[in-house]
Chains A and B, each alone.
Chain A
Amino acid sequence: MAGPMIPKERSDYSAIVDRPPLKLPGNARIVFWTTVNYEVWDIGKPMARQLLPAPTGVPLMPDVVHWAFHEYGMRVGCWRFFELFKRLGIKPTLAANARICEEYPRVAKQALDDGWEFMGHAYEQGPIHKEADQAGMINRTMDIMQKFTGKRPVGWLGPGLTQTLETPDLLAAAGVKYIGDWVYDDEPTVIRTAKGPLVTLPYSIELNDIPMMLIQHHESDYLLKRTIDQFDRLYAESEKRAKFCALAIHPYISGQPHRIKYLEQIYDYVNKHEGVLHWNGEQILDWYQKARPKAA
């Protein structure tokens, strides 16, 4: 083979209507998958996102105010998340830059103590295309997390969902079992890598507070509105086949006082429905490994 596989070579096209339905245990019909993202924004680099570009819009470094904006999430915002999920008894997936184990051990420790799933999310926040040694960065990320939690992560999300054509091969080699970056289906799928199969879980790029709030600039309550719209349709469809509703949140966005109540109301709404499971990525993976058609 000349180079790394292109996506089409990793995964054959498959129409959802042609597939036998997957079945969740018991009366469960839909999984609500919450992913919390904790990141490190290095002041030595351009900040990952900007709310208020400098006057006249020129990009400038250092960008102290956006560093501070992110830091608010770790000092204040994330504690609103911990309180909410503890109260609800939900153990989300934590997509964390491994560097949080070094820079914010207090925060990482809380997630560990609360039983959250640690998912690999690069060493720090920056597109994976810019990594000089991608394999080295992936292994380092996995090693740091394994050392901190005592368990090697099984999941991976690219920083900003980025990956190159090689990335799935490097992830599988590092021991990753599932990824969230392929937002191409409502169900988990299996893709080919040079190091064996890798599962993709149905993550969402639209139920994500970065695109909704920082890029598309929707009003605070829109997080609730769009999630309800998404959930309602998936819930209706889940009568016939298992469905997954993924939601991704960041403490410097959804942990702000003017947004947190809408996040809270999402769970109030979802939990009024019968047959909803709050599973993290690892739980979905474990179920899928048993539930999926063996021939695939």
Chain B
Amino acid sequence: MSMHPRERLDFSPIDGRPPLNLPKGVRMVIWPVLALEEWDMARPMARMVISPPQGQPMQPDHPNWSWHEYGMRVGFWRMKKVFEQLGVNPTVTLNARVCETYPKVVEACIANNWELNAHGYDQVPMHKLEDQRAVIGKAMDIITKFSGKKPRGWFGPGLTQTFDTLDYLSEAGIEYIGDWVLDDEPVMLKTTHKPVVALPYNFEIHDIVMMALQHHPSDVMHTRALDQFDWLYEEAAERPKIMAIACHPYLSGVPHRIGHVQRTFKEVLAREGVVAWDGAQILDWYLAQQK
């Protein structure tokens, strides 16, 4: 039994909706998301920064595999330092397989008390999985076992999902997702099991979209994020606003971009009433608002 998105959530215009309330002194929430992926060399690479001569896709795709691998060997550690200096705990959304292939990276996240959010088993669209339920269960088990804590949140690989995915996620104990970029506020989605909250993610302040797909110069990470922030910050005078910033170590963690990422966080967090929360904190706040 598949549910159409409309059956999970009624249309609701933000105009006229009663505002939510953030704790005293908080005007706006930044939600940093750091995504860790596993790109299996046996398959086409998830993204390509360079295509082979004559443009034909070739396998194995060494150049793009190593591009991603740089993120795990070097980029992640650069980003970790930046987040530590800023005192920010991002939500780490990870392919569960990263616990097997890059345990040192995941251990570093756990040591920093960063929230682990499940992001599939590896970087393959949900549509391509023969048994979604089993893969979701496997991803949850691996992360739970590795970290000693069950993930509360989920991002589909490439934000993909089918009409049934949410039901399987709810069955597996997932409480929030980030894949529905349809509102400025959290919303509650019906499932065949317990309701799941969709947190206000966005994929325009997102390094894959901006850098790998739209090919903007590195400093657009900062320009666009600040444009987004300034407008939301104004609107936050009337109702709480949440702004997600999505980073991948192979993109945001490279030397020519990291400075722009760093000053983005630095500048927005310096504004009055702006805090950085992870997904679980936003979820708990929202759930408390529903009572």
Task: Find the residue from B205, B209, B214, B216 having the highest chain A CB count within 10 A.
Answer: B214
How many residue pairs link A and B with beta carbons under 8 A? The number is 132
Does A51 lie within 8 Å of B204, measured CB to CB? yes
Bound together, the chains give a CA A4 to CA B10 distance in angstroms of 44
B88 contacts partner chain A, Cβ-Cβ < 8 Å: no
Give, as a whole number of angstroms, the nearest-CB distance from A261 to chain B: 6
Query: Which residue in chain A gives the minimum CB-CB distance to B219?
Result: A219
Does B179 lie within 8 Å of A64, measured CB to CB? yes
Bound together, the chains give a CA A220 to CA B260 distance in angstroms of 17
A258 contacts partner chain B, Cβ-Cβ < 8 Å: yes
> What 1/0 mask marks residues of chain A from 249 to 283 whose CB sits below 8 Å from any chain B CB?
00000001111111000000000000000000000
Does B11 lie within 8 Å of A74, measured CB to CB? yes
Query: Which residue in chain A gives the minimum CB-CB distance to B6?
Result: A43
A65-B204 contact given A72-B181, A75-B13, A219-B224, CB 8 Å threshold: no
Does B203 lie within 8 Å of A62, measured CB to CB? no
Bound together, the chains give a CA A140 to CA B158 distance in angstroms of 37
> What 1/0 mask marks residues of chain B from 214 to 240 whose CB sits below 8 Å from any chain A CB?
111000100111011111100100000
Q: Which of A52, A69, A256 contacts B213 (CB 8 A)?
A: A52
Does B125 lie within 8 Å of A217, measured CB to CB? no
**Interface majority SS on A: helix, strand, loop or mixed?**
helix
Does A55 lie within 8 Å of B230, measured CB to CB? no
A257-B179 contact given A65-B159, A75-B12, CB 8 Å threshold: no
Q: Which residues of A contact B215 (CB under 8 A)?
A: 217
B96 contacts partner chain A, Cβ-Cβ < 8 Å: no
Q: Which residues of A contact B180 (CB under 8 A)?
A: 64-65, 68
Does A258 lie within 8 Å of B227, measured CB to CB? yes
Q: Which of A64, A74, A219 contacts B13 (CB 8 A)?
A: A74
A69-B44 contact given A64-B161, A64-B179, A256-B228, CB 8 Å threshold: no
**Interface majority SS on B: helix, strand, loop or mixed?**
loop
Q: Which of A43, A61, A78, A260 contacts B231 (CB 8 A)?
A: A260
Query: Which residue in chain B gives the minimum CB-CB distance to A75?
Result: B183
A65-B5 contact given A52-B203, A217-B215, CB 8 Å threshold: no
Does B183 lie within 8 Å of A52, measured CB to CB? no
Q: Which of B12, B124, B182 contacts A72 (CB 8 A)?
A: B182
A79 contacts partner chain B, Cβ-Cβ < 8 Å: yes
Query: Which residue in chain A gives the minimum CB-CB distance to B165?
Result: A64
Does A72 lie within 8 Å of B183, measured CB to CB? yes
Query: Which residue in chain A gives the minimum CB-CB distance to B235?
Result: A257
Contacts of A57-71 to chain B: CB distance below 8 A: 58, 60-62, 64-65, 67-69, 71
Does A43 lie within 8 Å of B5, measured CB to CB? yes
Interchain residue pairs A-B with the least CB separation, the first 10? A217-B214, A258-B228, A257-B231, A55-B46, A258-B227, A68-B182, A71-B182, A65-B159, A60-B127, A54-B125
